[in-house]
Amino acid sequence: MACRGMRHGSTVTIKGGEKQFSTRLITIITDDGMKEGDYIFGIRAVTEAVRAGKKIERLVVKSGTQGALLRQLTDEARKAGVPVQFAPAERLNRITRKNHQGVVAWLSAIEFGNIEALLPSLYESGKTPLIMVLDRITDVRNFGAIVRSADCMGADAIVMADRGVARTGGDAVKTSAGSLLHFPVCRTANMVKTIKLLKESGLKIAAASEKGGEDAFASDMSGPLAIVMGSEEKGVSADILAMCDTRVRIPMSGTTASLNVSVAAGILLYEATRQRLPER
């Protein structure tokens, strides 16, 4: 995605020992007018941000970079649950031409939850869990819209991978109408393992599919349920699809063969909520 300019924000000063490391929150404005988000750079600045408990979406490190300080940073980041990615120097240089020292950290607008801790609390409170699982959803607007629908329909959480997915920055917050600021979003480094956890916790796993499966409006969604939504380009990945208990499709009668993923998610969430409502 090409960039057409940068907009500089406020300066953030992070103290480390006797020294102070200042960096700027910079927003990249892309050709389509979207903001990619804010970030900080530099080994010591990012290290202090991790130690201060700042909400960091991911840490990008230049491939081949070595040194004791960098190893310390990556170790502390992983312990703090921050996904660490390695990328060529060209990628980091496209983000900033300043002395990034091979380290860039993207800041998150939200606090991520833990699905392993959340599930028991849902059962203990007497709730029937309704979880949305997002498999490779990369579009920020779709992600934000799904969060908004999940919040409106009374779902309990969204589960997503910790990399290769939509960013959780300001655009996602705006599209979600603010729901992202309070709705539980849980990251996982191993989606297959997390699906297994959901199954072992008593949830039925239903994958949305336009290529077959049972009618969503005839499927039983009244019990503990996780709805899996795949990317618009490739759908639900094969390894996750193989673990699902059922596939559900939304019946359509028009000429267009498929729905936008956020629209489809909203329809399935509504149906699950409708089935849980007390009979009138």
pLDDT value of residue 141:
93
Q: Which helix (H) or strand (E) holds 6?
A: strand 3-16
The HSE-up count of residue 2 (CA atoms within 13 Å, CB side) is: 2
**Phi, psi dihedrals of residue 175, rounded to the nearest 5°:** -65, -30
pLDDT value of residue 279:
64
pLDDT value of residue 118:
95
Residue 246 and residue 219 in contact, taking contact as beta carbons nearer than 8 Å: yes
Residue 107 and residue 187 in contact, taking contact as beta carbons nearer than 8 Å: no
Low-confidence ranges of the chain (pLDDT < 70): 1-37, 279-280
pLDDT value of residue 184:
95
Q: Residue 44's Cα: distance from chain center in Å?
A: 27
pLDDT value of residue 245:
96
Closest CA to 69 of 91, 50, 54, 52: 50
Q: What is the CATH number of domain 3-107?
A: 3.30.1330.30
Residue 158's DSSP bridge partners are 132, 185
CA distance 44 to 20: 9
CA distance 238 to 84: 25
- Which CATH superfamily groups domain 115-276? SPOUT methyltransferase, trefoil knot domain (3.40.1280.10)
Residue whose tokens read 């729901």: 179
Domain boundaries, the chain: 3-107, 115-276
| Amino acid (one-letter) located at 45 | A
